[in-house]
Amino acid sequence: MKKDDDLPLLRFDFRPPPCQVIVFPMEARIGKARHVAEKYLSRKSKEQRDGYWNLIVKNLREELEKRGLQPDQIQKEIVAFRDAVSKEMRKAEAKANQSPRPAEWDDGPRRA
């Protein structure tokens, strides 16, 4: 067999190339952050809130571990999600404290 007769197909490496898992960023999961913030704020006591938050963190950690992330990446994603939930909680509280009618709609005092 001559060198020119060698088929390149026979030298092909059939092993899959190494891959990197890219998870959708936790801070971008606005719907989930909004849902968690709403549920968190609806809890009556600090113990209930802490228990709910610990459950959320446990579930997130398990999900990210299953997807193959390293512990430092998991911690980074959980902190980012915590920040997103805090932002949604501030928005919800601001909305709850808002007047039902904006000030520019106010006609002022009624005249007799």
Neighbour-count burial of 55, counting CB atoms closer than 10 A to its CB (0-12 exposed, 13-18 middle, 19+ buried): exposed
Question: Closest Cα partner for 65 from 50, 57, 29, 51?
Answer: 57
Count of domains for the chain: 1
62 is a domain residue? yes
Predicted pLDDT at 68 = 87
Which has the closest alpha carbon to 36: 14, 55, 22, 23? Answer: 55
For the chain, how many residues are written?
A: 112
pLDDT of residue 33: 95
| Domain contains 56 | yes
Per-residue pLDDT tens digits for 4-38:
566 666 666 778 777 777 788 888 999 999 999 99
| pLDDT at 55 exceeding the cut of 60 | yes
The model's confidence at residue 98, banded by pLDDT at 50, 70 and 90, is confident
Q: Which of 65-74, 75-84, 99-108 has the lowest mean pLDDT?
A: 99-108
Q: Does residue 90 lie within any of the structural domains?
A: yes
**Structural domain for 39, as ranges:** 26-96
- Do the domain assignments include residue 47? yes
